[in-house]
Amino acid sequence: MTMGERIKYLRMREKMTQEQLGDVLGVQKSAIRKYEKGEVENIKRSTIKKMSEIFDVSPCFLMGWDDDYDKVNELALEVKLIEQIQSQYGKQAVELLEQFVELNEIGKDKAIDTLIDLCMIDKYTEK
């Protein structure tokens, strides 16, 4: 996983937009986009340090120097899965899943029951 992919994953994990991360770091949204696309090779040390604090990871992990391959592979799979869900079902599906995983078992059961009820009402379903 590249540094850019790690930045994107961690930003999405924190439910931050590129603009929000840029504001916290003191850079433009376009800089965050370039970081995530791997278009910037020399990100300032102070920026890397601040990002590692925001995301609660080590600078070494953020930069791809950490040898924790299991963690890297897990992150890569999660990023790919999120991108696939968003591509097929849209951003709202990803937002729904992000909220769903925050629920306890009772909350998850209630959410599913509510969705089943909504799907039975014509005005809320796709024709």
pLDDT digits (tens, 9 = 90+) for 50-86: 999 999 888 888 887 765 655 666 777 777 888 899 9
Q: pLDDT tens, 3-47? A: 898 899 899 988 999 999 999 999 999 999 999 999 987 899 999
* Rg of the chain (C-alpha set): 18
d(CA 50, CA 54): 6
The domain tally of the chain equals: 2
The domain in which residue 116 lies consists of: 92-127
Determine whether 54 is exposed, middle or buried from the number of CB atoms within 10 Å of its CB (0-12, 13-18, 19+): middle
> 24 with 64, same domain?
yes
**How many Cα atoms within 13 Å fall on the side-chain side of residue 47?**
17
> 119 with 74, same domain?
no
pTM higher than 0.75: no
> 83 with 106, same domain?
no
Mean pLDDT of 96-125: 93
> 55 with 99, same domain?
no
**Secondary element (H or E) of residue 38:** none
d(CA 16, CA 22): 10
> 60 with 39, same domain?
yes
